[in-house]
Structures are given as C-alpha cells and as structure tokens.
Chain A
Amino acid sequence: MQLPVINNTASEASQGGCSAGSCGSTDDQMNHLPEHIRQKVFNHPCYSEEAHHYFARMHVAVAPACNIQCNYCNRKYDCANESRPGVVSELHHPVQAVKKVLAVAATIPQMTVLGIAGPGDPLANPERTFETFRMLSEQAPDIKLCVSTNGLSLPEQVEELSKYNIDHVTITINCVDPDVGAQIYPWIFWKNKRIKGREAAEILIAQQQKGLEMLVAKGILVKVNSVMIPGVNDKHLEEVSKIVKAKGAFLHNVMPLISEAEHGTFYGLTGQRGPTNEELQALQDACEGDMNMMRHCRQCRADAVGLLGEDRGSEFTMDKVEQMEINYPEAMKMRAEVHAAINEELESKRLAKESKVQLVSIQGVQKKEVTRPVLMAVATKGGGVINEHFGHAGEFLIYEASSEGVRFIGHRKTTPYCEGGDTCGDGESALDKTLKVLAGCEAVLCSKVGYEPWGPLEAAGIQPNGEHAMEPIEEAVLKVYEEMRVAGKLAVKVVEQQKVA
C-alpha cells in the first residue's frame, strides 16, 4: 500500500483526528491559498514549512520602545512576542542595521526576509522602523520586509507601511474579549495617557482588529500570532482564530506561553504555567480546521540570523560588520542565481508531490486500511532531510504519520544529549530531558544514534532509527510507518498512545 504524503481530502473532516485540509504540512495548506498569496509566501522561511529548510531570515533590533505591557514580557529584555525572553539584543541605529543586513545578505544568499520585531514594538518606534525600511527598499530591493506588532498603533501606520517593500505584517492577537485581555495586558499608552485594566484591553483589541482590516483592504498579507496562556485564553483562541480568518489573515500561529520564574515576568512570578506539548497540539488542531496554522515557529530572537532554529548572529556583530566591504549590486546577482536554483528545487519537489497524490488517490479508492496515527521525532539540520545525529540535536521536528499521510506537528527543543565527540559532560541529565521532550513519540529518526541512548530510548517506547540518513523527512517517516504497519503495530486502539507528562 502506498500512503499519500499529502492529504487534500476535504471530506471526512468533521469527525476524528484531523479536520479539513489540515493533514498536509504547511506548504500543502498553501495549495489552498489564492495563487498570488501562495507566490508571495512560497519562499518565506517563516511561513512555509518547506522553504524554511532552504531560505533564511534575519531580524534586526532597531525598535526598543513599546507602548503596552504584556504579562509575559519583562521589559528589561526583548519583546517576548517574537523573541525568547532574557536575551538582550544588540540595539542598532537604522544606518547600522542596514549595513548589517547588507552584510548578511551578501554572505548568506539564502537570506530573503528581513524582519523588525523588536526588542519593543516596531510601530511604537515608527521613525526608526521606517527609516530602516526606506533604506532597504532602495538599496536591497531583493529583500522582503516584514514587521510584527502588538497592533496598538497599527491603524495610523498602515498608509506609511504600504509605501515600502513590505508584504507581510504579523499582529499578536491574544484575545478579542476585553475581559480576557484585562488578564493579559496590565496597561497601554494611549493618547498621552496610561490606561489600565479592561478599558486598556478594549482599546487595544479595537485597534488590532481595525489594523487587520485595513491591511487586508490594502492587500498586505497579515499573519496573526497568539500566545496560548492556559486558563486565560486557551479556550478563547479558537474564537480568535475564526474571527481573524474571517477578516482575511492568512496564517494563524499559536505559540506556547514561556513563563520561567527567572524571566521576572508577571506570569513567571505568579506561577502562571505554559501549555504542555499536548495542550498546544490540541489547540492547534482545533484552530486548524478554521485556517492555515503555522506549526514550525521557533519563537526566534528579535535579532536572530540564519535559517530557522539556527543562529549565526555572532558572525555579524557590529564591529565585524564595520570591517566588511560590501558591494551589494554585485551580491544581488549572485543572490538571484542562488534563489533561482532553490526555487527550481522547491518547484520540482512540489510537482513530484502532486503527481504522487494523484497516483495515491487512484489507488486509495480501492483499499483504505485505517491505522492509528503515530508521532515520530526527526533530527535535522535543514534541507528537508534527516541529517543530524541524535546526540547533537538541539531540537526535534515532530511529525504525525497516519493512514491519511504525514503532517508536520511542531518542533520541540532540548539540550543536545552530547555536545560533540567524547566530551559528553552532562550527558545523563540531558538525555533525561530529551526523553521527556520526546514523550508521545514512538520513533526518533536521525542520521546516527549512539549506543548509550539506545537502551533508554527503547525503554521509553521510542524506537531509535538511524537507517534513513540523508533521506527526505516525509518519505522516511512514511517508510517507518509502513514498517510498523507490516509489523502489526498500527491496529487501531491496540496500543494506548503515551501521554505527555
């Protein structure tokens, strides 16, 4: 039996595991989007699961000020909407930021997207943000610009935004109900006053919704981010998802609350917990029926450089950038060649997938065995293939295989079990952490697994597998799933799936 890599069947939707159009990875969901939008996001590493293996994005920190307070943010650090709390960015003046962007773009031709996401709210720093955009639109027209915002001052900035090379804006919308909002935002700065409580939330929500509508009316792509806060907005986010979709947002990304006490945030210090992997996945599934969800967000830092999940920022500190001589017009030619080659590869992969789907839909009619879904973890350095050692992986991608095909679920971070070679130092506890992080998975696919972690992995019900090194992820996952089926491990409801602690 051949299993489809993609599921495009919109039927069978309502009951059971996954709902309409949700079983493919993000790129497959892209197929449902209008062509002009699909083209726009095709090589955007933050939006396309496929592209983020090939293209890189970077952020520059030019916008330190903020005009609201979120309970998950410690304002001594970077904006927690887009970046990990506790990591302070090297703040740049716009001129420096542009220099840095050109240096990175010339060195890493895969860099296609420049974002301004903080460390505060980019639209609360309009001069600094727009000066950066203005210069980049002139000097590097081959770089796409994006910006994220809490939305408070968005409506008044839409006109200005539409002047630049900006094709997507991210709004963090955590609620549409001011009573929920009052538990998330203690204050906003509005019309020269500090407003608190429900009234503050009411204004913020109205501005966010208005901004969303105005951007859509202008034809600017809008992505919505939400932070999932158990007991505060977790149930509510399904409604948020419906509303923002109805208004024309094209992606909704639910991120887990991060609230360690040491970050010093309100939530961290008052014991508000973040969601478990399972809760997050359940909410993402619930919202996905409504719209395209993005599951591979890594809550990257505001000044991160490189492919998602990888940070090469240390190669581009300002003192190093000042030393570099950049001839951008020359670099742009080389970049165009690299982009063309990658696009060709992506396109041929897409066509290959499409033909496979057609094949399967013919065969699938005759024979459809229902097998239970299985979660598998994958170690990869990028490129869409299994190419990372178990012990070196700082994160695992989680895929779900089922009789419907393979879909990307999300990523889970850990501490690499073995930081390299013989110096395994803290190996023991790091392995424990990884085991915990992989709870619920029944296999882990990597280029190599050492002898030592093998036993504990098996004991935890996670089959280590190093047999598919360098193979494309989804194909390898399907092969393993097929092996499990043949071995009779997939009969529905025979094996109780492990629960995440």
Chain B
Amino acid sequence: MALEIIESCTNCWACQPLCPSKAIYEAKPHFMIDAQKCTECAGDFEDPQCATICPIEGAILNEDGVPLNPPGSLTGIPLQKLAA
C-alpha cells in the first residue's frame, strides 16, 4: 500500500512537509515516496495528503499506476487543449 511520485513532479515541495509518515524525500531528479513508509495516510487523514495538495496532474500514482489526479482534474483545462 503506497503511492508513487513520477517524473512529471516539478519539485515544488508542497507534499513533503504534509506527509504523516515522513515517507517523502527530496531526490534527483524529483521527489520520491518511500514505499516502505507510505501508509496512504490511513489512520491519519481521510485523503492521501501528497495527492491532495499536489498541483501537477498525473504526478502521483496509486499502487495500480493510476494517477490520483488525472489530466484536467485540477486545472480544469479541457483535454483537447491539453493535448494540443
């Protein structure tokens, strides 16, 4: 049970201080989640904190590799515009 940060992360630091499990660490080329430590915030918060503040769609995936914030879900930019 763990989330994953992928390369579209812009290293904005927003998630790191929020993690109740101290699972997020600064790394090159982008922030990483320690899969051993991540609890998906179970027991601490209703929503996984990192994915709740992350401004970049698609930067955080769940265990099945599905983005918690799919394209368009945060910015509201229509998908065809995103593709262009």
Q: Which A residues contact B (CB, under 8 angstroms)? A: 64-67, 69, 71, 75-76, 91, 120, 124-125, 127-128, 186-187, 189, 192-194, 265-266, 269-270
Inside 8 A of A270's CB, which chain B residues have their CB?
77-78, 81
Contacts of B84 in A (CB 8 A): 269
Interface contact A192-B52, CB-CB below 8 Å:
yes
The DSSP consensus for interface residues of chain A is loop
Q: How far is the CB of A333 from the nearest CB of chain B, in Å?
A: 37
Inter-subunit contact B74/A186 (CB<8 Å): yes
| A193 & B14 in contact (Cβ 8 Å cutoff) | no
In the complex, the answer to whether A194 meets B52 with C-beta atoms within 8 Å is yes
Binary CB contact string for chain B from 37 to 53 against chain A (1 if under 8 A, 0 otherwise): 00000000111010011
Within 8 A of A (CB), among B12-27: 12-14, 17-18
C-alpha spacing A492/B78, complex, angstroms: 50
B36 sits at the interface (CB 8 A): no
Q: Are the CB atoms of A64 and B56 closer together than 8 Å?
A: no
Alpha-carbon distance between A364 and B76 when the two chains are bound, in angstroms:
58
Q: How many residues of B contact A (CB 8 A)?
A: 23
Contact yes or no, B76 A192, CB < 8 A: no
Indicate if the CB atoms of B46 and A66 lie closer than 8 Å: no
Docked complex Cα distance between A270 and B18 (Å): 32
Task: Indicate whether A64 sits within 8 Å of B11 (C-beta atoms), given known contacts A69-B74, A193-B47.
Answer: yes
Within 8 A of A (CB), among B25-84: 45-47, 49, 52-53, 55-56, 74-78, 81-82, 84
Contacting residues, chain B, for A269 (C-beta < 8 A): 77-78, 81-82, 84
Residues from chain A with Cβ under 8 Å of B12 in the complex: 64-66, 75, 120
Q: Are B13 and A192 in contact (CB under 8 A)?
A: no
Collect the chain A residues with CB atoms within 8 Å of residue B13's CB.
64-65, 120, 125, 128
Distance in angstroms between the alpha carbons of A119 and B23 in the assembled complex:
24
Q: How far apart sit A189 and B54, CA to CA, in the bound complex (Å)?
A: 9
B17 cross-chain contacts in A, Cβ below 8 A? 65, 127
Binding site for A on B (CB under 8 A): 10-14, 17-18, 45-47, 49, 52-53, 55-56, 74-78, 81-82, 84
Cross-interface CB contact of A192 among B49, B74, B77, cutoff 8 Å = B49
User: B52, B56, B74, B78: which contacts A193 (Cβ < 8 A)?
Assistant: B52
CB contact under 8 A between A194 and B81, given known A69-B75, A76-B56, A120-B12? no
Q: Are B53 and A67 interface neighbours, CB within 8 A?
A: yes
How far in angstroms is the closest Cβ of chain A from B51?
Answer: 9
11 contacts between A and B (CB under 8 A): A64-B13, A64-B14, A65-B12, A65-B14, A75-B10, A91-B11, A186-B74, A192-B47, A194-B53, A269-B81, A270-B81
The interface residues of chain B lying within 8 Å CB-to-CB of A124 are: 14
Question: Which of chain B's residues have a CB closer than 8 A to the CB of A67?
Answer: 14, 53
User: Could you tell me if A266 and B47 are in contact, using CB atoms closer than 8 angstroms?
Assistant: no
Do B53 and A189 touch (CB < 8 A)?
Answer: yes
In contact, A75 and B78 (Cβ under 8 angstroms): no
Question: Can you name the residue of chain B whose Cβ is closest to the Cβ of A74?
Answer: B75
CA A128 – CA B14 in complex, angstroms? 12
> Are A192 and B46 in touch, CB under 8 angstroms?
yes
Residues of chain B within 8 A of A192, CB atoms compared = 18, 45-47, 49, 52
**Minimum Cβ distance to chain B for residue A355 (Å):** 54
Among all A-B residue pairs, the 6 with the closest Cβ atoms: A65-B14, A75-B55, A269-B81, A189-B53, A65-B13, A64-B12
A265 to chain B: which residues have CB within 8 Å?
A: 75
Bound-state Cα–Cα, A94 to B56, Å: 25
User: Which residues of chain A are near B52, meaning CB under 8 Å?
Assistant: 189, 192-194
In the complex, what residues of A have CB within 8 A of residue B78's CB? 269-270
Of B18, B45, B75, chain A has the most CB atoms within 10 Å of the CB of: B75
Q: Which B residues are CB-close (under 8 A) to A266? A: 75-77
In Å, the complex CA distance between A102 and B47 comes to 42
What residue in chain B is nearest A124 (Cβ atoms)? Answer: B14
Given contacts A124-B14, A127-B17, are A66 and B55 in contact (CB under 8 A)? yes
Minimum CB distance partner of A186 in chain B: B76
Judge whether B56 and A75 touch: CB under 8 Å. Answer: yes
Give the distance to chain B from A62, nearest Cβ to Cβ, in Å: 10
- Shortest Cβ gap from A199 to chain B (Å): 15
Set of chain A residues within 8 Å of B76, measured between Cβ atoms: 71, 186, 266
Complex-state Cα separation, A470 to B81, whole angstroms: 50
Q: Of all chain B residues, which has the CB nearest A194?
A: B52
Q: Tell me, in angstroms, the Cα distance from A124 to B18 when the chains sit together.
A: 11
A189 to B78, CA, bound (A): 22
**Knowing that A71-B76, A120-B14, A189-B52 are A-B contacts, what are 10 other residue pairs whose CB atoms are under 8 Å apart, sorted by A's residue number?**
A64-B12, A67-B14, A67-B53, A69-B74, A186-B76, A192-B52, A193-B52, A269-B81, A270-B77, A270-B78
